[in-house]
Amino acid sequence: MSSTVAFILKGYPRLSETFIAQEILALEQRGLDILIVSLRQPTDHHHHPIHEDIQAPVIYLPEFPLREPTRVLQAWWRGRRRPGYHTARNLWLRDLRRDLSLARIRSFAQSLALAHEAPSQVARLHAHYIHTPASVARFAAMLLGLPWSCSAHARDIWTSPDWEKREKLEDLDWLVTCTACGHKHLANLSRDPKRVELVYHGLDFERFPRPVRVANTRDGSSSAAPVNILSVGRAVEKKGYGCLLAALAQLPKHLQWHFIHIGQGPLLPALQRKAESLGIDSRVTWMGAHPQDRVIESYRDADMFVLANCVAGDGDMDGLPNVIMEAQSQGLACISTTLSAIPELIEDGVTGVLVPPDEEEPLAIALARVISDPGLRARLGDSGYRRVRERFSHEQGVEQLALKFGLAKPRTQMST
């Protein structure tokens, strides 16, 4: 029987985590036998076409252990007899003393359930995110006597305490992360920096083929032909939509534009109210969440793209947002901020425009400049397209991961 790698995810499927689905499918196509383990039930009303292509079976762990007491108690009864149980329990109790939270209690219950229910052919656990999924993977690996590894991303890196990251880096086999700044931070926390490797997500250009963009002369001077500004992202603090709406409201009155937002999130009603209070709601369309094929259509219909990333109050921030890569792959001129790893993708004035985070005036100036200059949009769009194609194909990252998972060569040759 072949060896299986259990991928521990926060939730599956998720519209906001296309990059994880893309990675799973690519590794499947290279011959990796994968079991998806989800800590939460799906909440999105849609899913991407890529989720239909993934063949891996899915296990949903008890999201609310008190609602499934028999399942959790059976897992504990069996788990307490495992050789690694006391080590896992003692480490969990130590974590709990430092951070008493329901999330940590749930993580241990889920790790017991995973150890109890994992098929015998599982030979490795791999967590996506170094916070909760890594906690479940860590304890379950101790219970099962298996190696574990991790992919760290953004929020999980910047909001997890350093003591927790250090200890997990001591226990795991290896870790990959998707930005140079995240790599530097985690490597500095590890006693063995070689365990930490930079692996960019990149894009599967078969799913984001070369666009056919027709040059347009829209410069914001005609109300019949406003410049269409697109943004794709969850309505959460770190995406900077409050600042973006304020900047849009500061644009010169003579400029004709329309803003389209794709995504859901807890702040969406508040943002809609803010647009109304700023007097720009008639120029804003809130599309809600959409599957990837509809999102790609929106990229192709838009004239420019903006994502005003910032640091949230709890320290959460993006790493390298995939939606900027997606927009560039479709030839869109992009405006974003100098935060985190975004300058690893956008060179200001060459492949896009960067402004300081959380500053409305510079963002408004950048928006006005790009709206009113179709030639600039075309140059930035072309340069961004070339850069993302040259530097951010997912093929390279998948090959790095395939080697780490013991796959020497791809089973099928995929085109780029």
In this structure, of 42-56, 387-401, 402-416, the range with the lowest mean pLDDT score is: 402-416
The pLDDT tens digits for 333-379 are 999 999 999 999 999 999 999 999 999 999 999 999 999 999 999 99
Instruction: Let me know whether 155 and 25 are in one domain.
Output: yes
pLDDT of residue 19 exceeding 70, the answer is yes
Cβ atoms 201, 178 nearer than 8 A: yes
Q: How confident is the model at residue 9 (pLDDT cuts 50, 70, 90)?
A: very high
Alpha-carbon gap, residue 281 to 270, rounded angstroms: 12
Instruction: Let me know whether 164 and 242 are in one domain.
Output: no
Q: Is the residue at 70 inside a domain?
A: yes
Mean pLDDT within 159-183: 96
Mean pLDDT within 292-312: 95
Question: How does the average pLDDT of the chain come out, rounded?
Answer: 94
pLDDT computed for residue 123 by the predictor: 98
DSSP 203: B
Instruction: Let me know whether 80 and 189 are in one domain.
Output: yes
The values of phi and psi at residue 107, to 5°, are: -60, -40
Q: Is the residue at 211 inside a domain?
A: no
Q: Is the residue at 217 inside a domain?
A: no
CA distances from 201 to 175, 298, 314, 377, 379 (A): 14, 22, 25, 26, 25
Instruction: Let me know whether 336 and 258 are in one domain.
Output: yes
Residue with tokens 């001077």: 221
Q: Is the residue at 221 inside a domain?
A: no
pLDDT computed for residue 113 by the predictor: 98
The count of other CB atoms within 10 Å of the CB of residue 228 is 19
The values of phi and psi at residue 218, to 5°, are: -60, 125
Alpha-carbon gap, residue 135 to 39, rounded angstroms: 11
pLDDT of residue 44 exceeding 90, the answer is no
The values of phi and psi at residue 134, to 5°, are: -70, -35
pLDDT computed for residue 210 by the predictor: 84
pLDDT computed for residue 48 by the predictor: 82
Cβ atoms 39, 8 nearer than 8 A: yes
Secondary structure of residue 117 in the 3-state scheme: helix
Residue 185 exposure: Cα atoms within 13 Å on the Cβ side? 21
CA distances from 71 to 139, 263, 356 (A): 18, 35, 50
Mean pLDDT within 264-282: 98
Alpha-carbon gap, residue 285 to 201, rounded angstroms: 30
Alpha-carbon gap, residue 122 to 179, rounded angstroms: 29
Dihedral sign for Cα 237, 239, 240, 245, please: negative
**CATH code where residue 180 lies:** 3.40.50.2000
In this structure, of 41-45, 312-316, 317-321, the range with the lowest mean pLDDT score is: 41-45
Instruction: Let me know whether 259 and 385 are in one domain.
Output: yes
Mean pLDDT within 46-74: 93
Mean pLDDT within 278-293: 95
pLDDT of residue 15 exceeding 90, the answer is no
Instruction: Let me know whether 8 and 138 are in one domain.
Output: yes
pLDDT of residue 415 exceeding 90, the answer is no
pLDDT of residue 395 exceeding 60, the answer is yes
Instruction: Let me know whether 176 and 99 are in one domain.
Output: yes
Mean pLDDT within 153-179: 96
Cβ atoms 227, 256 nearer than 8 A: yes
What is the count of structural domains for the chain?
A: 2
Instruction: Let me know whether 31 and 154 are in one domain.
Output: yes
Q: Is the residue at 410 inside a domain?
A: no
pLDDT of residue 411 exceeding 80, the answer is no
Q: How confident is the model at residue 16 (pLDDT cuts 50, 70, 90)?
A: confident
pLDDT computed for residue 297 by the predictor: 95
Q: How confident is the model at residue 96 (pLDDT cuts 50, 70, 90)?
A: very high
Q: DSSP E strands: which ranges in 191-342?
A: 196-198, 227-232, 257-262, 284-288, 304-306, 333-337
Instruction: Let me know whether 284 and 341 are in one domain.
Output: yes
Instruction: Let me know whether 234 and 187 are in one domain.
Output: no
Alpha-carbon gap, residue 115 to 139, rounded angstroms: 9
Considering the chain, what percentage of its residues have pLDDT values greater than 70?
A: 97
The values of phi and psi at residue 11, to 5°, are: -155, 155
Q: How confident is the model at residue 408 (pLDDT cuts 50, 70, 90)?
A: low
Instruction: Map 164-194 to HEC letters.
Output: HHHHHHHHCCCEEECCHHHHHHHHHHCCCHH
Q: Is the residue at 151 inside a domain?
A: yes
pLDDT computed for residue 339 by the predictor: 95
Q: Is the residue at 317 inside a domain?
A: yes
Mean pLDDT within 391-407: 93
pLDDT computed for residue 18 by the predictor: 87
Q: Whole-model pTM?
A: 0.85
Domain range enclosing 246: 227-391
What is the identity of the amino acid at 142?
M
pLDDT of residue 214 exceeding 90, the answer is no
Give per-residue burial for 116-125: e unless 16+ CB within 10 Å, then b: bebeeebebb
The pLDDT tens digits for 109-163 are 999 999 999 999 999 999 999 999 999 999 999 999 999 999 999 999 999 999 9
Q: Is the residue at 210 inside a domain?
A: no
Instruction: Let me know whether 400 and 373 are in one domain.
Output: no
Q: How confident is the model at residue 409 (pLDDT cuts 50, 70, 90)?
A: low
Cβ atoms 56, 49 nearer than 8 A: no
Mean pLDDT within 32-44: 95
Alpha-carbon gap, residue 106 to 112, rounded angstroms: 10
pLDDT of residue 414 exceeding 50, the answer is no
CA distances from 206 to 29, 31, 55 (A): 14, 19, 19
The residue ranking higher by pLDDT, 409 or 48, is 48
Instruction: Let me know whether 239 and 198 are in one domain.
Output: no
CA distances from 113 to 60, 105, 118, 203 (A): 10, 13, 8, 34
pLDDT computed for residue 287 by the predictor: 97
Alpha-carbon gap, residue 341 to 318, rounded angstroms: 8
pLDDT computed for residue 412 by the predictor: 46
